[in-house]
């Protein structure tokens, strides 16, 4: 009897032991498995005791997480260690990946900058180093994604790289912020390029951390704190919403309610009035890649919310960003004439910004090819003819663009003048680009953009002055487009224009009251000053000469306001075109003089 009792107890223990395994398997059977690959961010470096890294927070912490993050790991390190992760990847339902930060931090040039707290490299050296880092990183990232895909078809959440250095009043910290904006943009562009073909989901950590570094970065100034990890987890939750949806609770049977006698409606009773929707201010942004915000976000397939139109007046406007990278003035005019989306947007706009003309010059001068080849631009007769034709065509197109806008809307229009993206530089090639820009852009701004703005009742946002002497701070690594700080400067220029800062009055015609007999000689001197950047500012600012023209414009505007009606097209277009024709004749004469003097100046520069 004792033997039977002992045997019964043993069987009961075995049954209980085995049932616990079965119960555990049943509990884990429905739990999703997340494999987290990456560096110290995935690992959780910089967190306080008790805080968890973002992989453990995804899905409200209900996932079975295998955290394979390795502090200090570069993309090359991860490529070399992928073989040991095969078993984990085969069972994964979700894979997250943060990699690339150490590719930058462990680079010799970047490490020296951080250790010495001095940015001792030129833009050209930085661009070359970043290009080499991005090339290696892109190749490694492609290898990593392919290796993951060979083991599983689970969703891959690929995080962009955030800039750990936020804006600061400290000069070196601010310099680090600007450097980070340039470098992270290049790296994140590679991330988006690789993610597309592989079907990876991109979690935009860069955008989420932008300007929020003070609250999201830990004391080590590199890694996320607990709040930062919450943000990283939330990004994954958004991308995996369909996968992480909890099962719906069983539907409960609703109690059957007794039917009430229908109440007869009074046909004379008025229906309840609907609350009218709140009207919002709509800002419509027309332009090229600057308006688009190219290279501000890693995702270059859509306009950036960090672009200057979204920053105007603290982002209180609903923005319709119609910027198109590579767009010329001719193409924008065609869109306004034929594209219903553009016409509808202009008609409903509360504010309109226009930034166009940059590509007209860049494409005519072959700037992109020149930067790629690194050869100084020699202005021969063929190039001069291209530039002259591009400038004249741009003037005609811009006049027509503003006319189209004014036919559709009387909203305030902010017309941006052109900035010179090339600052002064000791490098002969870059200095030649700077001088070319200084010869062309001030003349275009004063002789074309400003008068057209005045004639169309637009205000001018002075991008040229905002960027002058600050190109190294405001221009990104491609030498042309604004970085985040540059877009802030463009937004500030737009706000200043909207607040009633009168645009600088350009000199387009000689006033009839001018009594000096030697006026043609003074015009030649003014044209010569445009070529010399040092003397240009004092020549541009001569408001007394513009008083008669300004008074005439004001009188016309007042007459229109008194009648309360717009003048018919026949009453304004003829004089407008006559004025533009006169301006173009003057501009043609100026360009001929510039051509003669520039050829001599460039030959002396390159000799």
Number of continuous H segments (helices) and E segments (strands) in the chain: 29, 10
592 vs 489, more confident: 489
Residue boundaries of the structural domains of the chain = 30-243, 282-507+521-542+573-606
361 vs 221, more confident: 221
CA distance 540 to 293: 30
Q: The pTM is what?
A: 0.44
- List, in sequence order, the alpha helices (H) in 425-568: 428-444, 450-455, 463-467, 471-474, 484-498, 519-531, 533-540, 547-563
pLDDT in tens, 492-502: 999 999 987 54
**Residue 582 binned pLDDT confidence (cut-offs 50, 70, 90):** low
CA distance 258 to 239: 45
CA distance 438 to 421: 10
Closest of 543, 548, 458 to residue 494, by C-alpha: 458
pLDDT in tens, 268-314: 554 444 434 446 799 999 999 999 998 888 777 889 988 999 999 87
pLDDT in tens, 122-140: 878 888 888 899 999 999 9
In the prediction, which pLDDT does 21 show? 42
CATH code of the domain occupying 30-243: 3.40.50.1110
Instruction: Tell which CATH architecture fits domain 282-507+521-542+573-606.
Output: 3-Layer(aba) Sandwich (3.40)
Average pLDDT, rounded, for the chain = 77
CA distance 351 to 356: 16
Q: What is the mean pLDDT of residues 55-79?
A: 94
Q: What is the mean pLDDT of residues 413-428?
A: 90
459 vs 581, more confident: 459
In the prediction, which pLDDT does 44 show? 94
Q: For every residue of 150-199, which 3-state class applies, written as one string? A: HHCCCCEEEECCCCCCCCCCCHHHHHHHHHHHHHHHHHHHHHHHHHHHHC
In this predicted structure, the answer to whether residue 551 has a pLDDT above a threshold of 60 is no
In the prediction, which pLDDT does 29 show? 57
Element (H, E) at 579: helix 569-606
In the prediction, which pLDDT does 554 show? 38
CA distance 209 to 17: 49
C-alpha count within 13 angstroms, C-beta hemisphere, residue 32:
22
**Residue 252 binned pLDDT confidence (cut-offs 50, 70, 90):** low
In this predicted structure, the answer to whether residue 230 has a pLDDT above a threshold of 60 is yes
In this predicted structure, the answer to whether residue 108 has a pLDDT above a threshold of 50 is yes
Element (H, E) at 459: strand 459-461
- Locate 80 and state its tokens: 């070399």
pLDDT > 70: percent of the chain: 69
In the prediction, which pLDDT does 264 show? 54
In this predicted structure, the answer to whether residue 63 has a pLDDT above a threshold of 90 is yes
**Region at 221 (left for phi over 0; alpha for psi -120 to 50; beta for the rest):** left
In this predicted structure, the answer to whether residue 249 has a pLDDT above a threshold of 90 is no
In the prediction, which pLDDT does 503 show? 37
In this predicted structure, the answer to whether residue 169 has a pLDDT above a threshold of 70 is yes
pLDDT in tens, 347-377: 999 999 999 998 887 776 666 565 556 666 6
Q: Do domains 30-243 and 282-507+521-542+573-606 have the same CATH topology?
A: yes
In this predicted structure, the answer to whether residue 90 has a pLDDT above a threshold of 60 is yes
Angle between helices 428-444 and 381-408 (to 10 degrees): 40
């Amino acid at each position: 009897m004792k033997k039977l009792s002992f045997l019964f107890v043993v069987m009961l223990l075995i049954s209980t032991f085995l049932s616990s395994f079965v119960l555990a398997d049943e509990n884990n059977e429905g739990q999703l498995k997340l494999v987290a690959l990456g560096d110290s961010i995935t690992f959780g470096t910089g967190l306080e005791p008790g805080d968890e890294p973002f992989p453990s927070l995804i899905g409200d912490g209900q996932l079975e997480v295998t955290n394979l993050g390795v502090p200090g790991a570069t993309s090359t390190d991860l490529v070399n260690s992928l073989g040991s992760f095969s078993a984990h990847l085969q069972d994964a339902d979700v894979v997250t990946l943060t990699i690339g930060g150490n590719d930058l931090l462990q680079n010799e040039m970047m490490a020296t900058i951080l250790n010495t707290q001095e940015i001792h490299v030129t833009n050209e050296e930085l661009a070359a180093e970043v290009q080499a880092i991005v090339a290696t990183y892109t190749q490694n990232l492609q290898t990593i994604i392919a290796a993951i895909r060979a083991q599983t078809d689970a969703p891959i959440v690929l995080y962009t790289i955030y800039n750990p250095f936020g804006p600061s009043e400290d000069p070196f910290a601010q310099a680090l912020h600007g450097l980070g904006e340039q470098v992270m943009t290049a790296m994140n562009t590679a991330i988006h390029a690789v993610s597309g073909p592989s079907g990876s989901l991109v979690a935009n950590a860069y955008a989420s951390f932008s300007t929020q570094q003070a609250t999201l970065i830990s004391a080590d100034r590199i890694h996320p704190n607990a709040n930062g990890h919450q943000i990283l987890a939330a990004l994954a939750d958004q991308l995996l919403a369909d996968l992480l949806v909890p099962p719906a609770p069983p539907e409960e049977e609703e109690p059957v309610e007794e039917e009430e006698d229908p109440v007869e409606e009074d046909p004379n009773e008025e229906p309840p009035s609907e609350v009218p929707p709140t009207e919002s201010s709509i800002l419509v942004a027309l332009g090229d890649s600057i308006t688009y915000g190219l290279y501000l976000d890693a995702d270059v397939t859509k306009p950036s919310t960090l672009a200057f139109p979204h920053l105007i007046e603290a982002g209180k406007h609903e923005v319709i960003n119609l910027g198109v990278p590579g767009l010329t003035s001719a193409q924008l005019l065609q869109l306004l004439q034929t594209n219903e989306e553009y016409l509808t947007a202009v008609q409903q706009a509360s504010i309109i910004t226009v930034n166009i003309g940059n590509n007209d010059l860049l494409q005519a001068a072959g700037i992109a090819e020149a930067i790629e080849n690194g050869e100084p631009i020699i202005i021969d007769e063929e190039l001069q003819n291209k530039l002259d034709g591009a400038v004249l065509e741009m003037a005609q197109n811009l006049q027509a663009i503003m006319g189209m806008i004014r036919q559709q809307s009387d909203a305030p229009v902010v017309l941006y003048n052109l900035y010179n993206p090339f600052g002064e530089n000791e490098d002969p090639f870059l200095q030649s680009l700077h001088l070319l820009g200084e010869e062309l852009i001030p003349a275009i701004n004063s002789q074309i953009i400003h008068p057209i703005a005045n004639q169309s009742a637009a205000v001018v946002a002075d991008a040229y002055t905002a960027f002058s002497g600050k190109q190294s701070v405001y221009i990104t690594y491609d030498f042309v487009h604004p970085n985040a700080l540059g877009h802030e400067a463009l937004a500030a220029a737009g706000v200043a224009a909207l607040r009633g800062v009168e645009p600088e009055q350009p000199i387009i015609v000689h006033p009839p009251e001018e009594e000096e007999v030697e006026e043609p000689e003074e015009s030649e001197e003014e044209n010569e000053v445009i070529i010399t950047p040092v003397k240009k500012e004092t020549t541009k600012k001569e408001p007394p000469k513009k008083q008669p023209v300004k008074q005439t414009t004001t009188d016309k505007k007042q007459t229109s306001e008194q009648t309360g009606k717009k003048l018919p097209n026949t009453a304004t277009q003829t004089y407008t075109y006559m004025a533009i024709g006169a301006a173009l004749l003057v501009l043609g004469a100026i360009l001929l003089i510039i051509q003669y003097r520039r050829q001599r100046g460039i030959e002396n520069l390159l000799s």
